[in-house]
Amino acid sequence: MTVTQIDLDDDALDRVMATSNAKTKKEAVNLALRFYAARQERAARIAKHFERAEQWGAVADAERRHQAEKNAL
């Protein structure tokens, strides 16, 4: 664990503490950092799968099917 002195956004900290089970500022900051990191990792995995789907032509196929469904209405 690293000890760091930082200025925090009090409103953001209050919001994290109010919407989580965090009992301390340290807990709230660590929770928010973990949440952010997990979200970015998830987004990177989704982007990777999307790139693969584009290479396979799945995205273009889905777009064609979507257009066909819209036109059928």
What whole-number distance in Å separates Cα of residue 31 and Cα of residue 51?
30
Q: Does 31 have pLDDT greater than 90?
A: yes
| Residue 73 clears pLDDT 80, i.e. is over it | no
Tell me the pTM.
0.69
Distance CA 68, CA 73 (A): 9
Cα 23 to Cα 46: distance, rounded to the nearest angstrom: 33
d(CA 45, CA 49): 6
Whether the per-residue pLDDT at 2 is higher than 80: the answer is yes
